[in-house]
Structures are given as structure tokens and as C-alpha cells.
Amino acid sequence: MRKITLLILALITVIGVNAQLTLNGEYRPRTEFLHGYKAPMGIDGQMFNLVTTQRARFGVFYKTDKYRFGLQFQDVRAWGSTKQLVNNDGSFTTVHQAWGEVLFNENLSLKLGRQELVYDDSRILGNVGWAQQARSHDIALLKYEKKGAYKLHFGVAVNQVQTMPYNTAGNYKSMQFLWLHKKFGEAFSLSILALNNGVADTVTNGLVGAPMTTLSQIIGIRPVYKAGKLQASLNFYYQMGNDKSTYFNSSENKNYHKNISAINLRIDVSYKATDNLKTTVGFEMLSGNSETNTDKSYSETNHAFTPLYGTNHKFNGWMDYFYVGNHVNNVGLNDAYLQLDYKKEKILAGAHFHYFMANAEVLDQKEFASTGDIKAMPSGLGTEIDTYVGYKYAKGVLFKAGFSMMLDSETMREIKGGSADATNYWGWVMVVIKPTFLNKK
């Protein structure tokens, strides 16, 4: 820490005429009351869980007319996870961002290092800001941006743990993406994204497994229209390539990776009814795998869409029943929603309503066990209600709280388990303190 302090002091003393140095921080504790969070409660009367987590950040950002530099430390922990007499092992503190960006001219730059990737509405690439640990990537990012015209970004990442080949536990092996964003006048814009994702895998044919990379791709568009108080957007992404899961071809006596053929479609329309109230209606579809389709060729393809590195907490309800480390490679999801958001001066408030349905058919296991018949259950999964309030106490200080409830169906419990007699709800209280220690030009 002493070395970091000396480095910061040195930077302050050598700031050039065209340079800017910013030092900022964040402290964000959040207490959560969990009772059916992420999955229905298994037993009526089961004990709730109460946990407090926190995120503390300190960032140094330096900018000149030829380069930029960013360094952000992060400490994430749950209250009680560190004993009172700390042995200073530093296991909770990490580097969230550490990057340098070379500015070749006013349009072209190259950004290298650990950095957040946030694109469009964060459906495919986002920083997962709600999660205390958040997400960042080790990547080389080439950017060409012509002000008022278009933006073109090309990113390349290849991951490896030290010198051990193919050892990338909990991470992708490689990833490349191309993102193009163009504005057509004041009202309309269009984004195009193409992403290639490689995960470490093992060839399963032969006496000895061999390392390999399994590749899948996402390609899609996002048009956005804004006119006065109205905004409308559409997401369409197609996922293809190979999946890590395999199937056995008996005629060739070999294992093959399943193909991927999956779709994500989202339509979102918002309208500012007043200067303070915004109403949003929308529908999202993430394709899934049917549990009643017994066709052999169907089972050799994964039809379930996976929003790879997006901020998934932002979508499909805040209780995180879907795509937050769960609900992947299964029946998919249809989500019809209504959102009411109010903001006036220092006050924030809102209520979001979701009706969830399975995108593909869910097998009625009871019927199958008793009769042997393959029959689909009703597609409805349940209704979620998310509410929140907030108060901006001062610049850089925000108090926020929320309460959510999931009214689950029998079909939901068939997928995720749980008791029909239990209630599922989740509450949280959070304080966000974001100081700017220095902003010197």
C-alpha cells in the first residue's frame, strides 16, 4: 500500500498540461434477506438466510492526449468471512481493472489489459455491476470511433493459467468479438455483434483424452428508435457452433459434440408518461430444449440459448431464477414484463412485473412415471414482482432498498424443485458511497 501511495503522489506531481488524473472509490455494503432466492423453498417454514456483503474499490485513472491508463483495486467479502484478528493474507482483494490504452489519433486506439466490457444493453457483454465481484476480461481491444458517425470495436482474448496449456478453470479459453454501432440521424441507431467463444475441452475418442477448444458463435443485431418520450428496441441473436456436451453415434462408435442452434429475441418499448414516470412493456424469448421431443436428431442439437457474458441480473427478474449461474441448457424462457419507474429529484421508486413461461415443453414426470405417456405440463412458470425505492442523500451517496416475490407454479417446481406450501421472497438494503478524491487537469 505504501508503494501505491508513493506512485499516486508521483503522478500528481508530474501531471502535464494536457493530462488528467482521477482518483475515485466506492464502498457498497448490501444486506439481503433470502427466502426462495434463485430457486423455490424446499420446505414450508424453512429458515431464511440473512447475509451482508460489501464491495470496496479504489481506482486511479490517468489520461493524456497520447495514452490512457486505468488501475482499479477491489475488495469483496461477506461480513464475518474474515476473523477479527486478520492475518493479512489478502485473499479478498483483487485487481478488477488494469489497462493501458494507446491513442494513435482522434479515431483509433488500442486498449490492452484487464477491463470491463459493456456493450448495448449488456445482454451479451456486460460488467455485472449488481454482483459485488462484477466481471472484467483480460483482452486486447482495438477501437475505431468516428464521432457522430459510427464505432467499430474488435476484441481478442486468449486465456491460460501461467504456462499450463488449456488450464482455464472457470474461464473461457479464447474469445473474439466484432461490434459495430452506427447512428442514423437523431432517432435511430443500429448495433451489430459477432462473437466467437472458445472453451477448454477434451477429445473423448481414443484411449487418452486430448485437450482441445470447443467453439461456438453468437451473431445478432440491436436496432434502437428514440423519438421524444418514446423509445423502442429489439434484440435478435442467433447462437451456433459446438457445445461441450456430447452424444454417442452408435453406427460410428464415436462421441460427437452437440451442435448449437438457439435464438434470443427481445422487444422493449418504453414511454415517459410524465417527466418523472417511465412505463416499459416488453417480451423476451430465449429458446430451450424440449423434454417431450424424443426424436434422435433433435437430441443431437442444443437448442438452449446462453447469454454468455451479459449482466443477467438485469433481465428476467431480480430474484435470479434464470441465467444467473443457473437455468442453462434446459427448456429456455419466455418473459412478458411491465416496468414502472419513478424518478424525481432525490427520490427513486419502481415496480417490475414478470410472467414467466417455459419456451420448450416440460415433461410431466408424474404422468410419465404412472402411465409411461409423454405429456407436457402447462408452460407457465410463475409471476415475479420486484419493487424498489431509493434516496440520493448527497452527491456520491445513495440509499436503496427492494423487495421481490416469486409466485411459482407446479411447472416451475418440476424444473427447480421446491414446496407448493412455501412462499418465496427476497429483500435487500444497500448503501452506495462513491467519492471522487481527486480530479485534476
Mean pLDDT score, 105-113 = 98
pLDDT at 331: 98
46 versus 154: the higher-pLDDT residue is 154
**pLDDT tens for residues 179-218?**
999 999 999 999 999 999 999 887 666 544 566 789 999 9
pLDDT for residue 170 is more than 90: no
pLDDT for residue 15 is more than 90: no
For 200, phi and psi rounded to 5 degrees?
Answer: -65, 135
Is the alpha carbon torsion for 39, 44, 46, 47 positive or negative? Answer: positive
Q: How confident is the model at residue 18 (pLDDT cuts 50, 70, 90)?
A: confident
State the chain's mean pLDDT as an integer.
92
pLDDT for residue 318 is more than 50: yes
pLDDT at 33: 97
pLDDT for residue 1 is more than 60: no
Pairing label, strands 188-203, 210-227: antiparallel
pLDDT at 208: 47
pLDDT for residue 279 is more than 50: yes
Which range (14-18, 67-71, 150-154, 353-357) has the least confidence? 14-18
Which range (11-20, 274-283, 313-322) has the least confidence? 11-20
pLDDT for residue 328 is more than 80: yes
Helix ranges (H only) for 83-161 are: none
pLDDT for residue 262 is more than 70: yes
For 181, phi and psi rounded to 5 degrees?
Answer: -130, 130
Mean pLDDT score, 135-145 = 98
Amino acid at 31: T
In order, the DSSP letters of 169-186 are TTS-SEEEEEEEEEEETT
pLDDT at 46: 78
CATH of the domain at 227: 2.40.160.100
Cell numbers at residue 435, please? 467519492
pLDDT at 53: 98
pLDDT for residue 166 is more than 60: no
pLDDT at 175: 97
Count of C-beta atoms within a 10 Å radius of residue 243: 21
Cell numbers at residue 16, please? 502535464
Distance CA 288, CA 355 (A): 17
Helix ranges (H only) for 293-343 are: 296-299
Amino acid at 311: T
4 versus 405: the higher-pLDDT residue is 405
Q: What is the largest CA-CA distance in the chain?
A: 81
**pLDDT above 70: percentage of residues in the chain:** 91
Domain encompassing residue 382: 2-440
What is the number of domains present in the chain?
1
Global pTM reads 0.92
Q: How confident is the model at residue 346 (pLDDT cuts 50, 70, 90)?
A: very high
**pLDDT tens for residues 373-383?**
999 999 999 99
pLDDT for residue 339 is more than 90: yes
